[in-house]
Each structure stands twice: as C-alpha cells, then as structure tokens.
Amino acid sequence: MPEPLNLLIPLDFLPESESALEYAVAVGKSLNARLHLLHILEEESTLYRIVISDKQREMIRLGASEKLDELAEKHLVPAKLSFTRTVLKGKVYDRIIEAARKTAAHIIIMGRTDSSDMKKNIAGTNTMHIIKQAQVPVITLRNKPKHPGCSHIILPLDLTKQTIIKASNAIIMAKMLNARITVISFLPDDRKSIEIKFIQRLDEIRNTFEKLDVSCGVRLIPFSGENLYKRLNKAVAELKGELVMIMTQQELNFTEFFIGSTAQEIINKSSFPVMSINPKSSEKTGIPDPLSNAFINPIQIFDR
C-alpha cells in the first residue's frame, strides 16, 4: 500500500472552511490520506492583551480545540480517516506555512471566502501569502462541489517557454493523485493564423504525457475577450473537470492569461477547486528526464 498523503486543512470555522474540510474528506478517502486540522488564534492587539485575562485566553483556546473535535466527529470519524487536530497562535499565514512543514503536508486545502473583511478570514490576503510562500500545492474552494474529487485535472497551458515547468508539475501531481489530465489552451481571435501550430503543440504535449504513463486529453478553446475565469468555468463544466491547476508567480514571465491579477481572479471567483502551485516549490523535485528531453525547446513550434 502506498504511503499516505498528508493533507493540511486550515479552519476558521466559517462555512467556506467547512466546505474545504468536506472536500478534503472526499479526496482523502480516495487517496489513503491523513488529514491535519488546524485552527489559528490570531495575534492579539495591544488593547486586547491589556483587557483579556490568561483564563479567558485559555477558554478561547479550549473552545477552538472543542470546535475542531466537533468537526472531526462530524466529518472524519464516519469516514474512518486518520487525522490530527492542532490549535496555534500567531499570524495566520506564518503558522499555516509552519504547520505544513511540520506535518510534511503534500497539499494544503483551504476555504475561500468573498467576505469584504478579508483579514479576519483565511482567504483573501492570507490566501495569497500562503500560495506565494507554500512549498506545496494549495487547493482553494468556496463550496463543496457536487462531485468532489481530484481524479480529473484541467491544466491550462499558454504554450510558451514555461510549458515545461507547468507540465512537469502536472505530471508529478497526476501521479500523486492517480489522476488524468486534460490540457487546454485558449486561442484568441487575433491568433487564429497559428491555430494549426497550437493543435500540433497540444498533440506533442499529449504524446509526452502518455509516454510518462499519464492519461491525457487536449482541447483548444476559442477565446474572444470575455473574462478568462468565466471562459475557464465553462470549459471545466463542459469537460467535467474536478480540479484546475495553475501556477502563480509573475516573475516567470507568463503571458497575460496566467499571471498577477488574472491568477487571483481565477482563485477568488472560480466555481471549482483551484490548485495553485508556486513554481519555486517544485525546484527540489526537479523535472523528469523524459519530459526535459521532450521539451528541450518548447517554443520551437513557433519558429517553424
């Protein structure tokens, strides 16, 4: 039996984080995973430190611990999943990153909220800090999907020189999650003259994935200027995808589709779970040799 995966689930006790826990349970049952539940007591303001007593602090900590116990009894015990529960104090994103290291987490799964008071919730500002700093993929979602899972990954590729990095991460995650992949690329109206080259490139990518024993489909999607996350939502629904994987670091010079504010828009507004990967997090993993050979010059297609 393969070694269990460790899933870290930060919980702020809002409905969105409980949805993330339900999703993590569904994923965990299919992956022989161990779940690590985490709640963070945020740092106290100066005034708060003055007016609250140590006894009150302990009552708050115990209350958080009891709430974790309730969630575990409700979701994890019936699923017969192995789990831990931890309450920590400090900055939310710092403690989550620390907990991910200590638990040897393979994936962080967390709720996303549309609350305007983002700093009080795990999503928003904290989410972006976590995604940028985490050494493991971060899955974010607002609501539990009707058919939760991670066995079908949708991988948007822009077919630039960064394809090798995104593809290598996708292969690693597909093998870890026992998933199949559908690679999609958007063809803007003003680039239809190179449609044949896009199709040829996608076929090359599919062949490479399959040589590495990863089931892969490809799809080229027309794109006429609507918001990318809306077009992505439609594509995921049409393809019956369960999880979308994006990379998030602007300094890698991606095209406009997958950087900066657009990546944040996909994370914050998408109706499906989004796995965000910081490219730096996979530097130690390295790129599989067959993939490196296959993508030795991934933009050569545009030079033909």
Residue with the bigger pLDDT between 182 and 158: it is: 182
Pairing of strands 6-10, 107-111: parallel
- Most confidently predicted of 74-88, 112-126, 273-287: 74-88
Closest Cα to residue 245, out of 214, 212, 279? Answer: 279
Which band of pLDDT confidence, cut at 50, 70 and 90, is reported for residue 95?
Answer: very high
pTM: 0.84
> Rounded to an integer, what distance in angstroms lies between the CA atom of residue 123 and that of residue 115?
9
Residue 41, both tokens: 């007591």
* Element counts in the chain: helices (H) and strands (E): 11, 10
Using one digit for the tens of pLDDT, what is the confidence trace for 19-37?
Answer: 999 999 999 998 889 999 9
Q: Which alpha helices (H) appear in 178-246, and where do they start and end? A: 195-211, 228-239
Domains (range + CATH), the chain: 6-141 (3.40.50.620), 152-303 (3.40.50.620)
Residue 82: name the closest of 122, 24, 138, 17 by CA: 24
Q: Name, in order, each residue with C-beta under 8 angstroms of 109's C-beta and a sequence gap of 6 or more.
A: 7, 8, 9, 20, 21, 23, 24, 27, 138, 139, 141
